[in-house]
């Protein structure tokens, strides 16, 4: 039996090769996974033209995945520098990479990225349109925007962020409800500007069926972008954000009717006490579609440390139902991240994702922590390094400050609680001041 997309196959009762791979990774029965894909509660972004992909699932009952944003800009146009980051991200086993290139002819970087990456690849075609056509924003036509999406799909991109929810009605809500930071989404702000300059409806909303044609042809997953995500905790959970979310829920159902997989993108900047309610709202209003969040960043006052503010919010979001976390680096709000910034962002995001998985009861999550605790109890340093999220840093810290006694560290020495409890429970003398017998 033939099928067009993962969702189409799932609805027809077909377990695809991609579903089999994801089910093995998640220790899940493939039939259970198929049912979740059929319902739209799990997406498996895997473009038919992305030959190097090692598929991953995003959604209900699965491990929380993380995404890394990379790409060239006008001020930092080096493709080789970005590809070095790509290889490092792949080595660190990230599940997704988004190419957010926003300068010049981006096709070379995008194609090389897709060719080398087993991780799923996402893009925001809106960023590419100005450089692709070498036109000012106002002069780009609705059809040209759609054509850029098709070009990305042909190249093998697995998911695209499309800000289809910032339509005329959402724009009217935004105008009537002033915000401190207006529209901070780069793609969303460009679309809003295009709509205002041309006095036209959002082309991705007006020609949504044509967009779905492209997605269906290539099994391109739609990541419905949140143009009105809050850019400050002051603007969180306001009328613009919620109105757009309602529109995204309607667009989700239209996509599913065409067997197009969907993810929903979410905030943004948000106080801790609002995160759980926002996760519930998304799942309710968007019919259980996978939720992809940026952060949330829980305070606005920590430039240089936003990998931490984001990890705090990401852990709470994941524990409350978010399925996919977009990493944030220490360079957020300041500059294009360098290689070290990217590494820190990845580790912080992985910690948040894993913490969320523990709370959600994801199979195998607590077992990882059990193994680490067992290694600590046994003072088995090599095993601790093997189990660490960042083994390289753990080994380096240990090596930089070696203790006098191998069964301790330089913080506690022979007062180490693990060492002494092991000894006393084995009926041995502790010998803190004297040499061991």
What is the predicted pLDDT for the residue at 436?
A: 64
Is the pLDDT reported for residue 16 higher than 70?
yes
Q: Per the annotation, where are the binding residues for [4Fe-4S] cluster? A: 409, 412, 416
Percent of the chain residues topping a pLDDT of 90: 87
Average pLDDT over residues 177-203: 97
**What are the CA-CA distances from residue 326 to residues 12, 173, 297, 353, 387 (Å)?**
32, 27, 11, 10, 23
Q: Per the annotation, where are the binding residues for Zn(2+)? A: 269, 333
Nearest Cα residue to 188 out of 131, 256, 122, 265:
265
**Residue 357 in tokens:** 């998985």
What is the predicted pLDDT for the residue at 433?
A: 79
* Other Cβ atoms closer than 10 A to 396: 10
Q: Which residues contact 168 (CB under 8 A, 6 or more apart)?
A: 195, 201, 202
Is the pLDDT reported for residue 437 higher than 60?
no
Rounded Cα gap, residues 436 and 347, in angstroms: 39
* Other Cβ atoms closer than 10 A to 324: 29
- The CA-based angle 116-255-168, given to 5 degrees, is 105
Q: With left for phi above 0 and alpha for psi between -120 and 50, is residue 259 left, alpha or beta?
A: left
Are 53 and 314 within 8 A, CB to CB? no
Average pLDDT over residues 197-205: 98
394-436 pLDDT, tens digit per residue, is 999 999 998 887 888 889 888 889 988 998 999 988 877 777 6
Is the pLDDT reported for residue 237 higher than 80?
yes
What is the predicted pLDDT for the residue at 413?
A: 87
Can you point out the beta strands (E) in 149-283?
Answer: 159-162, 221-224, 262-266
93-152 pLDDT, tens digit per residue, is 999 999 998 876 688 899 999 999 999 999 999 998 988 888 999 999 999 999 999 999
User: What's the maximum distance between 2 C-alpha atoms anywhere in the chain?
Assistant: 86
Rounded Cα gap, residues 134 and 341, in angstroms: 31
Confidence tier at 30 by pLDDT (50, 70, 90): very high
Rounded Cα gap, residues 329 and 131, in angstroms: 26
What is the predicted pLDDT for the residue at 235?
A: 98
Per-residue b or e along 292-302, where b marks 16 or more CB atoms closer than 10 Å to that residue's CB: bbbbbbbbbeb
Rounded Cα gap, residues 381 and 406, in angstroms: 9
CB-based burial label for 240 (10 Å; 0-12, 13-18, 19+): buried
Are 5 and 261 within 8 A, CB to CB? yes
Confidence tier at 363 by pLDDT (50, 70, 90): very high
The full set of domain ranges for the chain reads: 45-360, 411-437
**Residue 156 in tokens:** 């093998």
Nearest Cα residue to 224 out of 261, 270, 278, 176:
261
pLDDT-wise least confident of 176-185, 248-257, 401-410: 401-410
Consecutive H or E run containing 59: strand 58-59
Rounded Cα gap, residues 343 and 340, in angstroms: 5
What would be the CATH architecture of the domain defined by 45-360? Answer: Alpha-Beta Barrel (3.20)
Q: Per the annotation, where are the binding residues? A: 69, 98, 127, 163, 185-187, 226-229, 265, 269, 292, 333, 409, 412, 416
Percent of the chain residues topping a pLDDT of 70: 99
Consecutive H or E run containing 145: helix 142-155
Strand 221-224 relative to strand 159-162, pairing: parallel
Higher pLDDT, 306 or 434: 306
**Residue 274 in tokens:** 């609002």
Q: Per the annotation, where are the binding residues for substrate? A: 69, 98, 127, 163, 185-187, 226-229, 265, 292
Q: Which residues contact 172 (CB under 8 A, 6 or more apart)?
A: none
Q: Which residues contact 202 (CB under 8 A, 6 or more apart)?
A: 163, 164, 166, 167, 168, 191, 195
What is the predicted pLDDT for the residue at 11?
A: 98
């Amino acid at each position: 039996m033939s099928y067009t997309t993962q969702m189409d196959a799932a609805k027809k009762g077909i377990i695809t090769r991609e579903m089999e791979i994801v089910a093995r990774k998640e220790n899940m029965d493939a039939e259970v996974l198929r049912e979740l894909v059929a319902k739209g509660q799990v997406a498996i972004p895997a473009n038919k033209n992305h030959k190097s992909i090692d598929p991953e699932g995003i959604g209900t009952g699965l491990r929380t995945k993380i995404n890394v944003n990379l790409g060239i800009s006008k001020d930092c146009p080096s493709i080789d520098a970005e590809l070095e980051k790509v290889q490092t991200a792949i080595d660190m086993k990230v599940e997704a990479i988004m190419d957010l290139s926003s300068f010049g002819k981006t096709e070379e970087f995008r194609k090389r990225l897709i060719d080398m990456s087993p991780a799923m690849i996402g893009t925001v075609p809106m960023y590419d349109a100005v450089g692709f056509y070498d036109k000012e924003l106002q002069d780009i036509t609705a059809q040209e925007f759609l054509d850029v999406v098709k070009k990305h799909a042909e190249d093998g991109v697995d998911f695209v962020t499309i800000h289809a929810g910032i339509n005329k009605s959402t724009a009217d809500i935004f105008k009537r409800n002033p915000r401190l930071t207006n529209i901070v989404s780069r793609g969303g702000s460009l679309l809003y500007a295009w709509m205002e300059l041309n006095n036209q409806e959002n082309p991705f909303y007006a020609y949504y069926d044509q967009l779905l044609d492209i997605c269906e042809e290539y099994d391109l997953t739609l990541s419905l972008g949140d143009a009105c995500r809050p850019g400050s905790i002051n603007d969180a959970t306001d009328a613009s954000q919620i109105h757009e979310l309602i529109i995204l829920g309607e667009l989700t159902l239209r996509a599913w009717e065409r067997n197009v997989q969907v993810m929903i993108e979410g905030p943004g900047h948000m106080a801790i006490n609002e995160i759980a309610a926002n996760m519930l709202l998304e799942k309710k209003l968007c019919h259980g579609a996978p939720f992809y969040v940026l952060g949330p960043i829980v305070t606005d006052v920590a430039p240089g440390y936003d990998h931490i503010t984001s990890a705090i919010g990401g852990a709470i979001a994941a524990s409350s139902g978010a399925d996919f976390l977009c990493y944030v680096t220490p360079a957020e709000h300041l500059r294009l991240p360098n290689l070290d910034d990217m590494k820190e962002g990845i580790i912080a995001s992985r910690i948040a994702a894993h913490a969320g998985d523990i709370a959600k009861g994801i199979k195998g999550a607590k077992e990882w922590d059990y193994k680490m605790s067992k290694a600590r109890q046994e003072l088995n340093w090599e095993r601790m390094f093997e189990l660490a999220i960042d083994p390289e840093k753990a080994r380096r810290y240990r090596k930089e400050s070696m203790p006098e006694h191998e069964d301790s560290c330089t913080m506690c020495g022979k007062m180490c609680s693990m060492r002494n409890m092991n000894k006393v429970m084995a009926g041995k003398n502790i010998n803190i001041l004297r040499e061991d017998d």
